[in-house]
Structure 1
Amino acid sequence: MNKQWWHDAVVYQIYPRSFCDANGDGIGDLAGIIGKLDYLQKLGIDLIWLSPVYKSPMDDNGYDIADYQDIAAEFGTLAEIERLIAEAAKRDIRILMDLVVNHTSDEHPWFLAAKSSPNSPYRDYYIWRKPQADGSPPDDQRSFFGGSAWEFDEASGEYFFHLFSKRQPDLNWENPAVQQEVHQMMNWWLDKGIGGFRMDVIDLIGKQVDDKILTNGPRLHPLLQEMHRASFGPRNVLTVGETWSATPQIARMYSDPAREELSMVFQFEHVTQTWDPEHGKWKPRPFDLVEFKRIIAKWQTELADSGWNSLFWNNHDLPRAVSKYGDPGRFRVESAKMLATALHCLKGTPYIYQGEEIGMTNVRFDSIDDYQDIESLNFYRERTDAGVPHVDMMEGIYANGRDNARTPMQWDDSFNAGFSDGTPWLKLNPNYRQVNAEAALADPDSIFFHYQRLISLRKESEVMVYGDYQQLLEEHPQVFAYQRRLGEQRLLVLNNFSAQPVELDLPTELTGIEGQGLIGNYSLRHRLDERVSLAPYESFVMAFSLTSSPP
């Protein structure tokens, strides 16, 4: 495999609005991030994925961009982002900008010009269609945020297309002028020294609206190859695409270096297996470890030689990992460490979402009025209007609503968790007095230092980065076990995903193996007996060599 700098890197995602507020207005900002760079350097991460900080009316918390080359006033200034890039570089940390080019804000100058006249040169930057004879939308396509995907513009008598909020009109990627504008903007940021891009819903830019093909359209990969040639291709940067629709076969098309598209993609099959087939994430299903292992094995195996995996439990759109897959109560610390170990020892690039490294949990606000997320609010109104009981919708929001990930970062046990001197834009999780970074840094056995050790192991262990993947105990309902193999070197990773102790009979070839215990959330293991006992949520990693271990 052609080795890349980002193969042994670890990415830390920051949701700026919720990370750290330096000026007391209740909204996290760039100055706040700069002030916490030493904390991130101590953790050991290599890149910061920065959720959007561009100028925006914040209809979708920054994923509706009004100017790609300016910064939203609540976050700071262009000078401050340049300072962030420079200060991060001093600590060997790169900045990964969030690139949102499926759509813009309806306040973007391109869209304002497009609305001004059907004859505007910017009209074709967006997707317009005439109404049906009765004045209704061109078809029945739906927005991902609820309601029709078509919004009527009275001035011109036409509809424009929006897969998200009506204030997020979709760009027309069939227009070469749109492609050129985006490529120029990307190069402008790359020239500032950023480390690459995270590409929001990039699998939608090849859509064929009239044929109702939204994802993986026939023009998608040619568009990405052209983007590669025109912008980041000649530069040594990381590009990761958000692709909810990707299969392993499609992911290889994105990430096979020979195709010259992207470094890797985010796939969500392990996430959506907990969603109801009909009602989606608003009616969650129990986590099925056996099915999860099948999914992981498939992706690890099928991208082994001609692609690269991104590894993540949570992000700004997903619930907190320890609440979703672990135990946010009695075994919060043990299960958070277990989840970290299970993920970071896989082949791929790990992503940590802010607060994950201290075991932050989901929140249960008392009222729907306490929530800010446009997706949760829209679906709550739409579905309760359709007769879904309030309590059922709230349970869906408690489990999978996006505000679970967006409650302010918990820095200490002081006023507002040290996030802000003002009134936070979103209420805090009440458990911040117990769960916070200050407490984690004061405890050498904390979740934080477990993550720090895992990050350092990736720099020390080539088998962890490049070894192949072998699934073990495929049908065990409680234990996720696997080996990583590179030449004679082996890593054995055992993870108990349950609150019950487990007794395991290991495969014969592993019985009696002696090696080096690398990490564990209870203790280090240096030998494998015929029968292995695992405590609740216990995990450990042991390294051994085939040449030095007894048969």
Structure 2
Amino acid sequence: MMMAVEQAPWWQRGTIYQIYPRSFADANGDGIGDLAGIEAHLDHVHSLGVDAIWLSPIFPSPMADFGYDVADYCDVSPMFGDLAAFDRLIAAVHARGLRLLLDFVPNHSSDQHPWFKASRSSRDDPKRDWYIWRDPAADGGPPNNWISDFGGSSWEYDATTGQYYLHAFLKEQPDLNWRNPDLRAAMMNVLRFWFARGVDGFRIDVLWHIVKAEGLPDNPVNPAWHPGITERDRLLQRYSTDQPEAHDIAAEFRALADQYDAVLVGEIFLPNDRLARWHGTPERPEVHLPFNFALIETPWRADVLARVIDDYERSIPSHGWPNWVIGSHDAARIAARVGEAQARVAAMLLLTLRGTPTLYQGDEIGIGQVAIPPDRIRDPQHFRQPTLDIGRDRSRTPMAWDDRANAGFSTGEPWLPLHDDWRTRNVAAQADDTGSMLSLYRGLLALRRATPALSVGDYVSAQADSDVLAFERHYDGERLLIVLNLSGSTRRLILPAGTAITAVMHSTLPPRAPDSTLLPDEGLILRLVAA
């Protein structure tokens, strides 16, 4: 269903750029990125042609899970700056016509948060029920069989009060009890605090975890589990995630966000049918963009991707809007997964599908596989399940700005090592190179912004040769064909019946006259007319 460009809100027409603050730019030389460093490099973000920035957590935290263990929801960690630095940053963001989204972490806090310190001090403390406490099982063990996403039991025994508390992640991240109305009100006030400072929205961390089933029954065993996947997947998270009551909370978030014309992006790992429910209904909407991780989780095969894209498109309700992502702070980098040539193809795919794209810092210069020596590994997920090699450090390494020491990221030693080829793979080296990954991203983003068929047009799947992914975008009589060769061999270019090419609007390779072939690793955006 075609949407008028002028009627589409910015978050449908636009693109979001994720910044991992620890690794973007360091202004004070301690080897860790900060808010002042982000402010100093806003011109790079603006020059990309994106519309909004999403910051991973910047709140005070013991950093057991690098900021996703929040000790104060209404302040800034001294590691990153302070509230004054934040106010300067948001003013600089807005001055460039950009928007700023923060990471909201509602499922759990740090065990160093004053709320949890009070909660664990006594069974009678007023904040006891702000977290999820239960008596031991009959054998003295955990109350149920739930497994932490980081491995091991989701329960930690606390000798002071003789009960267990629930933690879906690390024991340093106790789960909040959203069934408690006082906790719920306090967290809504957190959103109001940041909205009042001018924040334009939130990415909501692990939103589908936020409510647990009444009675906390055991999760069923996963019959498909094998030792090559995470311990968490030994069980199906039927009762620990995606509960009906969570949708009431999401609707409450949305009602508040709408008062500020703000956008909500929900982190939700679920199959399409369950993911679609997080759009809510026209009368009672929930999050604007339930995050879609299909391009991260799907094998890089044209036939599989075509089916996944079509299935996702069909799942979106008429009042909903799609979104896409190929990289994040939790996933292996796209260039590491598919190689640099196909990473260019992936960029074209991300920026031509119907829906809001989210880019991850460093993908625009093609950072690929990064070797992390054993003594430099920092991610607790690695240490909990080391044989699976699922550490996230390799996607969180510092941004490379130029060929100065430490790639211009910091005057001190970076907290994680840089990619090996940083001297040539950096923003300065690629900025004026028309064939660079950075130039490709800038060109695709500019074309997307200028072309309604790409920003808000309809999606139609198309016939393609083997190893080729093809689809059309339509808007107000304009018809575009996107063809992506996911192989290293030449393939046929198949045009829809009765059409001809009038223009090659963009290519992942140097420009050439179109013919009946696709070169290896070539992606094309073609304008079609009736033949």
TM-score, normalised via structure 1 length: 0.88
| Distance across 1 between alignment mates of 2:145 and 2:297 | 25
| Distance across 2 between alignment mates of 1:70 and 1:253 | 29
The aligned residue for residue 472 of structure 2 is 483
The aligned residue for residue 235 of structure 1 is 260
Matched, 1:201 2:214: no
| Distance across 2 between alignment mates of 1:470 and 1:250 | 22
The answer (yes or no) to whether the contact 1:240–1:262 under 8 Å persists in 2 is yes
The aligned residue for residue 279 of structure 2 is 254
Matched, 1:175 2:175: no
Structural mapping, 1:143-222, within 5 Å: 143-208=148-213, 210-211=216-217, 212=219, 213-222=239-248
**Matching residue's letter, 2:108:** H
**CA distance 1:494–1:433, change in 2 (3 Å):** same
The answer (yes or no) to whether the contact 1:221–1:254 under 8 Å persists in 2 is no
Shift of 1:246: 4.4
Aligned partner of 1:362 among 369, 380, 389: 369
The secondary structure found in structure 1 opposite 2:383 is helix
RMSD: 1.8
Shift of 1:70: 1.0
The answer (yes or no) to whether the contact 1:524–1:540 under 8 Å persists in 2 is no
**Matching residue's letter, 2:520:** P
The secondary structure found in structure 2 opposite 1:34 is helix
The aligned residue for residue 504 of structure 2 is 517
Question: Percent of aligned pairs with the same residue?
Answer: 39
The answer (yes or no) to whether the contact 1:482–1:492 under 8 Å persists in 2 is yes
Shift of 1:455: 1.6
**Matching residue's letter, 1:20:** A
**Matching residue's letter, 2:259:** P
In terms of mean alpha carbon deviation, does 133-142 or 304-313 score higher?
304-313
In terms of mean alpha carbon deviation, does 133-142 or 513-522 score higher?
513-522
| Distance across 1 between alignment mates of 2:360 and 2:275 | 25
Structural mapping, 1:64-463, within 5 Å: 64-208=69-213, 210-211=216-217, 212=219, 213-229=239-255, 231-248=256-273, 250-254=275-279, 256-274=281-299, 287-303=300-316, 305-324=318-337, 326-327=338-339, 332=340, 334-365=341-372, 367-380=373-386, 383=387, 393=388, 396-397=389-390, 401-463=391-453
| Distance across 2 between alignment mates of 1:477 and 1:375 | 38
**Matching residue's letter, 2:68:** Y
The answer (yes or no) to whether the contact 1:416–1:424 under 8 Å persists in 2 is yes
Deviation string for 1:81-116 (max 9, x for gaps)?
A: 111000110001111000001000000110000011
The aligned residue for residue 36 of structure 2 is 31
The aligned residue for residue 236 of structure 2 is none
The aligned residue for residue 387 of structure 1 is none
Aligned partner of 1:541 among 510, 525, 529: 525
Deviation string for 1:142-165 (max 9, x for gaps)?
A: 000011000000000000000000
Gaps of 5+ in 2: 220-238
In terms of mean alpha carbon deviation, does 73-82 or 263-272 score higher?
263-272
| Distance across 1 between alignment mates of 2:495 and 2:34 | 50
Gaps of 5+ in 1: 275-286, 384-392
Deviation string for 1:13-63 (max 9, x for gaps)?
A: 000001111101010000100000111111121111000000000000001
The answer (yes or no) to whether the contact 1:500–1:536 under 8 Å persists in 2 is yes
The answer (yes or no) to whether the contact 1:473–1:479 under 8 Å persists in 2 is no
The answer (yes or no) to whether the contact 1:13–1:354 under 8 Å persists in 2 is yes
**CA distance 1:271–1:433, change in 2 (3 Å):** same
Aligned residues: 505
The secondary structure found in structure 2 opposite 1:226 is helix
**CA distance 1:305–1:523, change in 2 (3 Å):** farther
Shift of 1:446: 1.7
**CA distance 1:447–1:196, change in 2 (3 Å):** same
| Distance across 1 between alignment mates of 2:176 and 2:92 | 34
TM-score, normalised via structure 2 length: 0.91
| Distance across 2 between alignment mates of 1:176 and 1:462 | 44
Shift of 1:456: 1.8
